[in-house]
Chains A and B, each alone.
Chain A
Amino acid sequence: MAMIDLDKMLEKVKATQWALADIDWDAPGAEMITEEQWPKLKDFMVDLMWIEHVGARGFAAMAKKAPTETLRQIYSYFHAEEQRHANAEMALMKRWGMLEDGELPEPNINLRLVIEWLDRYADEMPYYVLGTVIPMLEIALDGALCTFLLETVDDPVCHQAFEKINDDESRHLGVGFTVMEMQGHNKTTIQMVKTMAPMLDPRLMLGIAAYFPLLNKMRDNVVKMGLPEEKLYAAMKKFKKIGGRTAEGRRNPWYQLIQHHGAIMVNRANRFYHVPVDAAVKATGMIPRRMLPAVPSWVKELTWEPTA
């Protein structure tokens, strides 16, 4: 992916906005969800919606750290756009009878831990760490989960919504990879090594402790839904391919770290990684919800209602 002109991108983002009210959520097609599909789809949509929401919070943190005003504005838009995706996905769930009035679906425990971490520490994380992790999550979402959903669900309203969502996501990825390359540009080796220093930050360690099990949990969930595991892995390879297509991109040590982690994650044979992480998934599943602090107020802003 070539470097993009960020000023033009900001203009494009501003010019291509949409609202939930642009979609007729009562249009025919909801009946196309089969009874067999329904329960699994509900779990899948809950995860998807929460990942979008977590992504939104990530972009909010990026906006605080953005090195230029243009990027700050872009991330502010992306923050809101990810929220819009989560809102639209909730609207789909409402359409499919998966939500009661006023109900906010419960995130799984691993997402809950990530939400907690984001709330406490995301704003403290260096820009380049978030700038590499977010494209990775985006590509997994865009390349695997959304594609799979559209292959599985025939409801035309779902396709209409995801056409809009995917257009937004492609811009998010374009900016994400451009920023990753910018971070590898004109940096000395010493400077690059310095960017790895936050690895020793206990707050980041906590983040990793929440992030690794979340990925494995997501893998388990989507496999349960019927998504071939390979699709998720292909998406991770896509991250490696696009992120590493220029020398600048490859020079970014966080890109190297994350794509290596992706390679380990897709290798089920790597017991050294998967045994403890899968164990962590199980262990976190045993955490009683009442032990967790109250959800942060930004979570409560989600809504499926197109008008307020």
Chain B
Amino acid sequence: MAKSIADDSAGTSTPAVPDKTVTHKPAAVLIVGAGFAGLGMAIRLQQAGINDIVILERSTEVGGTWRDNQYPGAACDIPSNLYSYSFAQNPDWSRSFSGSREILGYIHHLVKEFGLDRYIRFGKNVEQLEFDERKGLWSATTSQGEVFSGRSAVMAQGPLSNASFPDMPGIEQYKGHKIHSARWDHGYDFRGKKVAVIGTGASAIQIIPELVKEVEHLTVFQRTPGWVMPRPDFETPEWNKEIFRKLPFTQSVLRQALYLAHESMALAVIWSSPLTRIAERVGRWHLHSQVKDRWMRRQLTPNYRIGCKRVLISNDYYPALQKPNCKLITWPIYTLCENGIRSVEGIEHQFDCIVFATGFEVSKAGSPFPVIGVGGRQLNDDWSRGAQAYKSINVAGYPNLFFTFGPNSGPGHNSALVYMESQLDYAVRGIRKILGENLKMLDVKPHVQKQYNEGIQKRLAKTNWNSGCMSWYLTEDGFNATMYPGFATQYANQMKEFRDKDYLLVPG
């Protein structure tokens, strides 16, 4: 499913009218979400000797994005040896780029291996998170009316966890079957059906090659073509797994090599450099070698600098588009109608089913539920002009609260879990301080946060993400609250140091 950003919980929320409030005993740490981030946080806390943890998960299963994104072809586009935790390596990855089921299996393995079940409360959909400055406690109210609290809280709900049908004209008139890529309908039989896929992003390019094998006819609606690079995917031989099992350091060496290789890609993807031109040349070569028709190549040629949007990787996307039962449409869609899609060339394209591979609601300007900080301040208000945090993890006015995948922590070139590990370790340091020194509040100083963000925005201005294309990295006003403008190593270095002087410390 092509996430280099892992995220957490989703699933169905079933708000219920609370009949009475159930308040639980405060924990040391309250974590929202049991995906990669939330579970990783629990592991690192446990390893640091902190075991009084509660994880609130709105679904009935762990896994976050990888639980939700089970569409045909769903896989990671970062090699598995890098898209996994360094403190929990898996010698048994079956392929260099594993599918979502295998990644979900790895997440289940983490739960078992580290005994995380005891912390998780399933079916708890957080509707509000509020800080009580008198007690120094965060309280999470769930849709069932229960209140869970903690001396510190970790937002691990995931930036890509909320999937919904896009706000397209006429969508409510369409009478056929609708499927969102992140909520796949496994019961739907595609055989003999006329199907449309709207979108050609990271999820779509994985779905299309699989769907085209099954359906009678597939029509792909593209708005903006992306840069598609070759995918060096292969099966891991048994002997290789055996070596990893017997000599774990060899897997660490491979991981380090992969890490450095991805780091070098920053020079092509994040900033405009001669390597950017080379990467674009590789992309064009890939297109040229797989697509013979000049017009189709033109339709598939991106009109923006590589890196400005997410770089896609696939070997079978272009061939799938050229199958006899597949058609690429680049005319703008102007409305959906009862039987399908009307595009501007005046034709009504009729379908039995439309697959929306249109992405997620990325929380760029707020959180998915109200977060109330000191003095009743609301995170959505504070972030209304673009999300900001200190080192992506703390926000002034919201003491003892730690964000995973917070503002400006997204990588464009490396594994999100590499960034995640730095965040987890930083949060552990902060939480240890709160608990060890019995602090009521550990709150980043506003001017420190401001200064940090000024630096970030200054650096972002020089990156490819801010070079003019429209992407989900940017808000509608063009503000980039998503990506980190630097190498993963730079990010890790800034997270290594926890400076007390950057924080306001209020003893308990």
- B234 CB-CB contact with A under 8 Å: no
- B132 CB-CB contact with A under 8 Å: no
Evaluate contact between B348 and A17: CB separation under 8 angstroms.
no
Complex formed: what's the CA distance from A308 to B348 in Å?
6
Q: Which of A14, A64, A83, A119 contacts B346 (CB 8 A)?
A: A83
Evaluate contact between B345 and A21: CB separation under 8 angstroms.
no
- A273 CB-CB contact with B under 8 Å: no
Interface size grouping (class) on chain A = 20 to 34
> A21-B348, A123-B298, A308-B350 in contact; A80/B303 too (CB < 8 A)?
no
- B249 CB-CB contact with A under 8 Å: no
Name the A residues within 8 Å of B295 (CB-CB). 119, 296-298
Name the B residues within 8 Å of A14 (CB-CB). 334
Scan residues 4-49 of chain B and give those whose CB is less than 8 A from a CB of chain A.
Answer: none
Name the B residues within 8 Å of A80 (CB-CB). 331-332, 343-345
> A64-B303, A80-B332, A297-B293 in contact; A308/B347 too (CB < 8 A)?
yes
* A interface majority secondary structure: helix
Which residue of the partner chain A has the closest CB to B468?
Answer: A69
> A80-B331, A80-B332, A297-B293 in contact; A305/B347 too (CB < 8 A)?
yes
Complex formed: what's the CA distance from A123 to B332 in Å?
20
- B470 CB-CB contact with A under 8 Å: yes
Q: Which of B293, B298, B346 contacts A19 (CB 8 A)?
A: B346
- B258 CB-CB contact with A under 8 Å: no
Name the B residues within 8 Å of A240 (CB-CB). none
Evaluate contact between B348 and A81: CB separation under 8 angstroms.
no
Evaluate contact between A83 and B349: CB separation under 8 angstroms.
no
Complex formed: what's the CA distance from A80 to B343 in Å?
8
Evaluate contact between B346 and A307: CB separation under 8 angstroms.
no
- B246 CB-CB contact with A under 8 Å: no
Name the A residues within 8 Å of B346 (CB-CB). 18-20, 83-84, 87-88, 306
- B135 CB-CB contact with A under 8 Å: no
Among A18, A87, A306, A308, the most chain B Cβ lie within 10 Å of the Cβ of A308
Evaluate contact between B296 and A87: CB separation under 8 angstroms.
no
Scan residues 299-358 of chain B and give those whose CB is less than 8 A from a CB of chain A.
Answer: 303, 331-332, 334-335, 339, 342-350
- B458 CB-CB contact with A under 8 Å: no
Name the A residues within 8 Å of B348 (CB-CB). 19-21, 306-308
How far apart are A162's CB and chain B's nearest CB, in angstroms? Answer: 14
- B294 CB-CB contact with A under 8 Å: yes
- A239 CB-CB contact with B under 8 Å: no
Complex formed: what's the CA distance from A88 to B331 in Å?
16
- A255 CB-CB contact with B under 8 Å: no
Name the A residues within 8 Å of B335 (CB-CB). 17
Complex formed: what's the CA distance from A140 to B293 in Å?
33
> A14-B334, A307-B350 in contact; A83/B345 too (CB < 8 A)?
yes
Interface string of A8-36 (1 = CB under 8 A from B): 00000010011111000000000000000
5 closest cross-chain pairs (CB), A and B: A84-B346, A80-B344, A17-B334, A83-B345, A80-B331
Please give the residue numbers on chain B whose beta carbons come within 8 Å of chain A beta carbons, in ascending order. 293-296, 298, 303, 331-332, 334-335, 339, 342-350, 468, 470
Could you name 17 residue pairs across A and B whose Cβ atoms are closer than 8 Å?
A17-B334, A17-B335, A21-B348, A77-B332, A80-B331, A80-B344, A81-B344, A83-B345, A84-B344, A84-B346, A87-B345, A119-B294, A296-B294, A297-B293, A297-B295, A297-B296, A306-B346
Given contacts A19-B348, A84-B345, A306-B348, 10 further A-B contacts (CB under 8 A): A17-B335, A19-B342, A81-B344, A81-B345, A83-B331, A88-B346, A123-B298, A297-B296, A307-B348, A307-B350
